Amino acid sequence: MDYTEQHKKRLSYMPWLYFRLKTMHLEWAHPWQNDIQQTLMAMETISIGKNVFIAPEANIFAEPGRAIEIGDNSYIAADVTLHGPVRIGQNVSINHHSTLDGGSAGIDIADHCRIAAYSHLYAFNHGLKAGRLISEQPVKSRGIALERDVWLGSHTGVTDGVTMAEGSVAGMNSVVTCNVPAYTIVAGNPARPIGKREL
């Protein structure tokens, strides 16, 4: 029985396995990924580093002026939606069903960050003044930055204007609305400091 299609689906939802494939699977996996990435680069304003995995079920939108950059050894899982501008460093994982929209200011993700499933980063926001429909309010964008080695637990939200400093962590189901200091662990809605990463 040919399990290739099942293997492809498994990799789409657990893409870290792509980097552990045995030689017998690399014969189909590398050409499969090459086709996906070449097609994306032909259609969208995207640059893709070496040894990258992008699930075919990912939604990648990078029209001119909203470029997406993906660094070496990073992976994008199934049902992720990326809307540029988004800059992704090296060794970054973005797990299934996460959404990142760069607004106009963009999302910057430094090396070695981990974004767990169902996380949402929106680098824009609507005005809220009374007397005007939300759909007619001005949209502002300040951008989002995740510095090196940041980890977002599953179902985490990060709002526009937030910087999470190096080594910081947001616990599952957090909503991060303020800057997070280096190596600080936050949790809750809105997220508050609950500890520090220590040696």
DSSP alpha helices (H): ranges in the chain?
Answer: 4-13, 23-43
| Residues counted in the chain | 199
Is the pLDDT assigned to residue 118 strictly greater than 80? Answer: yes
Two tokens at 137?
Answer: 């309010």
The rounded distance, in Å, linking the Cα atoms of 113 and 91 is 7
CA distances 96 to 35, 55, 103, Å, are: 21, 9, 21
Residue 83: both structure tokens together:
């809307």
Q: Quick: pLDDT tens for 5-58.
A: 999 999 999 999 998 887 778 889 999 999 999 999 999 999 999 999 999 999
User: Tens of pLDDT along 63-75?
Assistant: 999 999 999 999 9
DSSP label at residue 84: S
Query: Per-domain residue ranges for the chain?
Result: 4-196
Q: Domain 4-196 falls in which CATH fold?
A: UDP N-Acetylglucosamine Acyltransferase; domain 1 (2.160.10)
> What is 12-46 written as a DSSP string?
HHSGGGGGG--HHHHHHHHHHHHHHHHHHHHHSSE
Q: CB within 8 A of 94, min separation 6: which ones?
A: 74, 75, 76, 77, 80, 82, 88, 100, 115
What's the pTM value of the predicted model, to 2 decimals?
0.95
